Amino acid sequence: MSPLITPAELAELGGTVTLLDVRGGISGPPGIDRYREGHLPGAIFCDLDADLAAPPGAAGRHPLPSAEHFQAAMRRLGVSRGRTVVVYDDAGSTIAARAWWTLRYYGHHEVKVLDGGLPAWSALGLPVVKDEPAVTPGDFTAAPGGMPTLDAGQAAALATAGILLDARAGERYRGETEPVDPVAGHVPGAVSAPTTENVGQDGRFHTAAGLRERFTALGVADGVATGAYCGSGVTAAHEVLALELAGFPAALYVGSWSNWVADPSRPVATGSPRG
């Protein structure tokens, strides 16, 4: 089953799913402000920093939350194991993909991303509301290990023995600029694969065939171990989702570049290709 759902398909489901609004969290106005200005009927706000990540530190800017913290957050938001969860944002599913990945990692198997997010929903003339729904606490139990992960050592090894995709913008990969982290560059051996190329101008994912062609051109192939990283493990989750759509399983380096450069002994490459 596809991890994506269209606005029309979601509209047909009505209130039979748990709907999480995961806008904001990286740049722009706070997500909760956007949510209060208008959201899908029945949607509950889920905060990237508070609900989908642990506090920043040596592990990265958006490290994994503990199972206990994530379970409590999801239950507070009404998430239950036996009920489908649909997540959306307004940024080409960048943050929604992190919600999808984290729920999958912690054992929820019925999670879908609204393809195109709020803009695609609104483009069909579907309703947007301001009222915040009452939430019945969920019974979700977080069990880690549902998705493959990489630590720094495994990412370094994969860049040599398999394919490690860098989901950041090309100029950050090449080390020409670094607006967030203290060191510019990339993991030696990593391949530049900006997340922005996974979607079209409308914010919807390219077709599975188109994504497969894209990743194949970057060296991804059946049977070749593949992983992805970005600045802090958010947009790289989008890469993992796009890879899944293309039929390629992939691991996520959750700590990503912000964790890599926390240790000054780790090597840094610049330029392209593959450092």
CATH number at residue 215: 3.40.250.10
* Cα dihedral 35, 36, 38, 41 sign: positive
9: in domain: yes
Q: What is the pLDDT of residue 24?
A: 84
Among 82, 90, 98, CA closest to 118:
90
Q: Are residues 22 and 105 in the same domain?
A: yes
Q: Are residues 156 and 212 in the same domain?
A: yes
Q: Are residues 13 and 103 in the same domain?
A: yes
List the chain pLDDT tens, one digit each, 275 residues.
899 999 999 999 988 999 999 998 665 667 899 999 999 999 999 999 999 999 999 999 999 999 999 999 999 999 999 999 999 999 999 999 999 999 999 999 999 999 999 999 999 999 999 999 999 999 999 999 999 999 999 999 999 999 999 999 999 999 999 999 999 999 999 999 999 999 999 999 999 999 999 999 999 999 999 999 999 999 999 999 999 999 999 999 999 999 999 999 999 999 986 43
pTM: 0.96
Q: What is the pLDDT of residue 274?
A: 46
Q: Are residues 27 and 72 in the same domain?
A: yes
Q: Are residues 117 and 163 in the same domain?
A: no
How far does Cα 211 stand from its chain's mean position? Answer: 16
Which of 20, 190, 220, 230 is flagged as catalytic? 230
Q: Are residues 84 and 41 in the same domain?
A: yes
The total number of structural domains that make up the chain: 2
C-alpha separations of 134 from 44, 52, 76, 250, 256 in Å = 9, 21, 11, 37, 36
Q: What is the pLDDT of residue 26?
A: 66
Q: Are residues 32 and 86 in the same domain?
A: yes
Strand order in the sheet with 191-192: 149-150, 251-253, 226-229, 163-166, 191-192
142: in domain: no
C-alpha separations of 16 from 12, 63, 108, 162, 253 in Å = 9, 31, 16, 41, 33
Domain region containing 156: 149-260
46 is catalytic: no
Q: What is the pLDDT of residue 275?
A: 39
Alpha-helical regions (H) of 106-189? 117-123, 152-161, 170-173
249: in domain: yes
Residue with tokens 């490690």: 164
Q: What is the pLDDT of residue 14?
A: 82
Q: What is the pLDDT of residue 29?
A: 64
